[in-house]
Amino acid sequence: MVIFKSKYPDVEIPCNVGIYQFIMSNPNKIPDDKAVFIDAITHKKITFGDLKRDTKRFAAGLQDHGFKRGDVLCIYSPNQVDYGTVIFGCLAAGGKVSPANCAYTAKELTCQLLDSGASIIIAHPNTISTAIEASIDAKIPKSNIFVFGDHEINGIQPYTSILSIREIEPVRFTPEEIKSTTAFLCYSSGTTGKNKGVETTHYNLISNIMQYRAFEGDNVHSNLCYLGVLPFYHMYALSINLHFSLLLGATSIVIQKFDIETFYRAIQDYKVDIAPIVPPILLLMVKNPAKCNLKYVMCGAAPLSQSLSDDFDRIYNIPIKQIYGLTEISPLSHIGPLEKLVNGSVGVLLPNIEAKILSEEGHELGFDQLGELYLRGPMVMKGYLNNLEATNNCIDKDGWFRTGDVVKIDKDGKLNDI
């Protein structure tokens, strides 16, 4: 069997702490008054000290509200500067977070609420009416729905009303529980079919953050500023903006809804260094050029064409760091160097990950042979919630995850996303 391995040495992945303790460990010793999230429009800031205090107060309030370890909280909102307060507060209480697409209809949201078993909804003022409608069929009482902001809307209390005056000691897990306990339930269509709940464990997400951290080395640090423009309900932004940058002690500038004017202004006003984006945003940047002093952009979630990459390079001369990943792998497996895109090359395997390429007939393929990509490593999801058949169809007995993507790997170990 031809198995492709990372050129990077394996990294040791901690299995003695959950996501909350891992992310809040503050390895770069940033001060409590450092702003870690800033709203690009209102300029509201959440400092590291604010986040530590309010997540523990939110967790205490959830417990007082009857929320137990293993319960599920759904966030149904566009990006918010205090999105992280809700996420880490839920994790501190021992719960699971199920972020929902803020463009969902009531029917779509109901499906996620029922499948995930959510008992609490945190919505946005713009989505609250849909959340209320969806909660009826999901049998979630109105008293368990809360809204971002400081004001009551249609009888729905602000989420800050949950905050207790006391701070709890965040729930801790044994090493076995860290590997088996679901932390996030993001919904993905996978390779086929309707949306399924991806069970991302504490260990899965910590593994992928460690893999990415090892790949970047000294290139990332607490003085960086990231742009939080991609939707936080998606695993790409959830990982980079709400976990990775926070572990560094870096700052994320939060944009609630993308528009090109706000995008450029936030980059200039806050001297943003790194912008995780997708090809459609890259295309808009090409069509609407403006002054932009980014160190580089990260581009993923869809294939990037050679012509678009060339146009972007010609206009901006800003490097593109190509990434490949899926929700099911928490989410990154391949990252490219800071160089011009060449022949569709995405990047190389992160540490602790193996890959193989299979033909339609199931034969193992070698270098530069086109076939379906399979991945194996500690970042592969636990499985699809309530769907053993779909899980077994994409994860085999040896732990190989079937991506459904047709690719080839060249002699340098670079993935070529065809």
Q: What is the pLDDT of residues 313-341, one digit of tens each?
A: 999 999 999 899 999 999 998 887 766 66
* Alpha-carbon distances of 125 from 140, 155, 242, 297, rounded to whole Å: 18, 12, 22, 31
Q: Which pLDDT belongs to residue 190?
A: 60
Cα–Cα distance measured from residue 127 to residue 324, given in angstroms and rounded to the nearest whole number: 31
Cα–Cα distance measured from residue 265 to residue 400, given in angstroms and rounded to the nearest whole number: 43
Q: Residue 188: which pLDDT band, with cuts at 50, 70 and 90?
A: confident
Take residue 312 and report the two structure tokens written for it. Answer: 């972007």
Give the distance, in angstroms, between the CA of residue 318 and the centroid of all CA atoms in the same chain.
24
- Per-residue DSSP letter, 277: E
The answer to whether 147 touches 122, Cβ cutoff 8 Å, is: yes
- For the four alpha carbons of 416, 325, 404 and 400, in that order, the dihedral sign comes to positive
Residue with tokens 């936080």: 232
HSE-CB at 85 with a 13 A cutoff on CA atoms is 26
The angle formed by the CA atoms of residues 191, 196 and 200, to the nearest 5 degrees, is: 95
**Runs of H (alpha helix) within 220-375:** 235-239, 245-248, 260-269, 279-287, 306-316
pLDDT mean over 29-41:
98
The answer to whether 277 touches 298, Cβ cutoff 8 Å, is: yes
Q: Is the pLDDT of residue 191 over 60?
A: no
Q: Which pLDDT belongs to residue 414?
A: 82
Cα–Cα distance measured from residue 202 to residue 206, given in angstroms and rounded to the nearest whole number: 6
332: phi then psi, degrees, rounded to nearest 5: -100, 140
Q: Which pLDDT belongs to residue 40?
A: 97
Q: Whole-model pTM above 0.85?
A: yes
Cα–Cα distance measured from residue 102 to residue 105, given in angstroms and rounded to the nearest whole number: 9
Q: Which pLDDT belongs to residue 230?
A: 97
